[in-house]
Amino acid sequence: MSATNWIIRGATIAGEKPGDIAVSDGVITEIGPNLDADKHKAQVLDSDGLIALPGLVDLHTHLREPGREDAETVETGTAAAALGGYTAVHAMANTEPVADTAGVVEQVWRLGKAAGYADVQPVGAVTVDLNGHQLAELGAMADSAAHVRVFSDDGKCVADPLLMRRALEYVKAFDGVIAQHAQDPRLTEGAQLNEGEMSGRLGLAGWPAVAEEGIVARDCLLAAHVGSALHICHVSTAGSVEIIRWAKSKGWPVTAEVTPHHLLLTDELAVGYDPVFKVNPPLRTSADVNELRQALADGTIDAVATDHAPHPVEAKETEWAEAAWGMTGLETALRVVHQAMVSTGLLDWAGVADRMSVRPARIGRLTQHGTPLRPGAPANLTLYDPAAPAEAVSPSGASKSRNTPFAGMELPGRVVATFLRGTPTVLDGKLTRA
């Protein structure tokens, strides 16, 4: 659909009274009651009862291109993002080849521009080929057209403390951030499921919480020592929350994210050995889930990030031990957060806007996303129907992959529309172009 003027009629900007939002040339031009469609030469989108959120921003998406286009492409992944209410995603670096040079990050950035469903901000690798030994060309990626500010070896941990220190030192010069996948490799050799009662019962090798918490603690100390920004990916344990709370109380430059699945699911789901529930870091206990929810509510955890990790059917529909790690998440994230955080009274919709758009944009150094819906702001926004009756999640969507752990689960709410710079990518819950 071509760019046009819109009046979004009767939506409620999170935390405010219902009203109208006028959009023209990619920008919000006016907000108020009963805006005149003729005066604005605008098409009206009736949005009574809908919540307007700034377009969601994902800090942690695996788009798989280049290299694993059988699992996802930039186009299918960003289409899934748009359907989930996202207007920007950070594309993780563990592609084939790895996004460890200016050339690869620019390629991903261009593919995002060509697809046009959501802005794609490439994340650069910290080390060459994710090898954990040699720093990648962080400066060249930062200076490239892709303007990389977030670096991560996600999928792998930067385990070497000296290398982690050097990376933090390096990115400080251009206000970069190192996003750590906190997993001590030695403590998780062969690990399959959260170490605890369930792993014992199922005979699956345990993945202890301390394997995450040890790295989180070490890296918080390093970030403080260097005075450079650390972001902790997919926090999954109560102990990590406690360490991050402590680091933040010291005023250290540490931020953190949690995934939708770690806010809703527990390791008990592994009881049937269905690898759809196999994920890195693993699903934990209900005590961890409760602590993660509290931490997201009180701001200790800054952001929800999907860790959208698509895999082809053959990689997931196999024995647990052989199956790939990861779950899709872009199309369901907002509904899961609705269920886990809003329905439970832990967050209101203004809080959701903060944790799923404002703060992730700030952490990802995006200036054109995560801005409050105000006249003059870029018209990146999502319309969500919180009253839509709970409906079972369908595994088939825009993503090329089907490995959603929420399939068949009843979740509330519905993403009705997504606008990227004033142009709808999604209307009535469907992509505006096939």
Cα separation, 199 vs 267, whole angstroms: 8
Question: Least Å distance between CB 152 and Zn ion?
Answer: 8
Q: Within positions 88 to 147, which residues make up the interface with Zn ion, using CB under 5 A?
A: none
Give the interface size with Zn ion as a residue count (CB under 5 A).
3
Tokens 């390629």 found at:
107
Residue placing its CB nearer to Zn ion in the complex, 115 or 182: 182
Cα separation, 289 vs 22, whole angstroms: 40
Residue placing its CB nearer to Zn ion in the complex, 158 or 415: 158
Question: Least Å distance between CB 59 and Zn ion?
Answer: 11
Residue placing its CB nearer to Zn ion in the complex, 54 or 326: 326
Residue placing its CB nearer to Zn ion in the complex, 20 or 154: 154
Q: Which of 307, 348, 354, 385 is catalytic?
A: 307
413-to-167, 222, 331, 391 alpha-carbon distances in Å: 41, 41, 12, 8
Question: Least Å distance between CB 90 and Zn ion?
Answer: 12
DSSP state of 173: T
- In this chain, which stretch among 38-46, 173-181, 286-294, 411-419 interacts with Zn ion, using CB under 5 A? 173-181
Judged by CB under 5 A, the residue of 64, 68, 181, 262 near Zn ion is 181
Query: Which residues partner with 122 through β-bridges?
Result: 91
- In this chain, which stretch among 36-44, 97-105, 159-167, 175-183 interacts with Zn ion, using CB under 5 A? 175-183
153 is a site residue for Zn ion (CB under 5 A): no
Q: Which residues contact 338 (CB under 8 A, 6 or more apart)?
A: 352, 386, 411, 412, 413
Q: Within positions 183 to 242, which residues make up the interface with Zn ion, using CB under 5 A?
A: 233
How far is C-alpha 146 from the geometric centre of its chain's CA atoms? Answer: 19
Question: Least Å distance between CB 280 and Zn ion?
Answer: 6
Q: Within positions 306 to 325, which residues make up the interface with Zn ion, using CB under 5 A?
A: none
User: Strands 43-46 and 27-32, how do they pair?
Assistant: unpaired
Are the CB atoms for 96 and 124 separated by under 8 Å? no
Question: Least Å distance between CB 153 and Zn ion?
Answer: 9
Closest of 429, 430, 434, 425 to residue 87, by C-alpha: 425
- In this chain, which stretch among 160-168, 179-187, 242-250, 412-420 interacts with Zn ion, using CB under 5 A? 179-187
Q: Which residues contact 8 (CB under 8 A, 6 or more apart)?
A: 20, 21, 22, 23, 45, 47, 52, 381, 383
Closest of 288, 301, 298, 300 to residue 262, by C-alpha: 288
Question: Least Å distance between CB 154 and Zn ion?
Answer: 4
Residue placing its CB nearer to Zn ion in the complex, 75 or 154: 154
Angle at 138 between CA 188 and CA 113, to 5 degrees: 100
Residue placing its CB nearer to Zn ion in the complex, 234 or 355: 234
Instruction: Work out the widest C-alpha separation in the chain, in whole angstroms.
Output: 68
Dihedrals φ, ψ of 414, to 5°?
-160, 130
Residue placing its CB nearer to Zn ion in the complex, 123 or 353: 123
Residue nearest to Zn ion (CB): 181
- In this chain, which stretch among 31-39, 150-158, 309-317, 419-427 interacts with Zn ion, using CB under 5 A? 150-158
Question: Least Å distance between CB 262 and Zn ion?
Answer: 12
307 belongs to the catalytic site: yes
Cα separation, 30 vs 315, whole angstroms: 49
Which x/- pattern, by CB under 5 A, does the window 341-370 give for Zn ion?
A: ------------------------------
Region of residue 59 (phi > 0: left; psi between -120 and 50: alpha; otherwise: beta): alpha
Cα separation, 287 vs 238, whole angstroms: 7
Question: Least Å distance between CB 61 and Zn ion?
Answer: 11
DSSP state of 56: E
75 is a site residue for Zn ion (CB under 5 A): no
Residue placing its CB nearer to Zn ion in the complex, 156 or 400: 156
154 is a site residue for Zn ion (CB under 5 A): yes
- In this chain, which stretch among 154-162, 317-325, 362-370, 385-393 interacts with Zn ion, using CB under 5 A? 154-162
**What are the residues binding Zn ion (CB under 5 A)?**
154, 181, 233
User: Which residues have a catalytic role annotated?
Assistant: 307
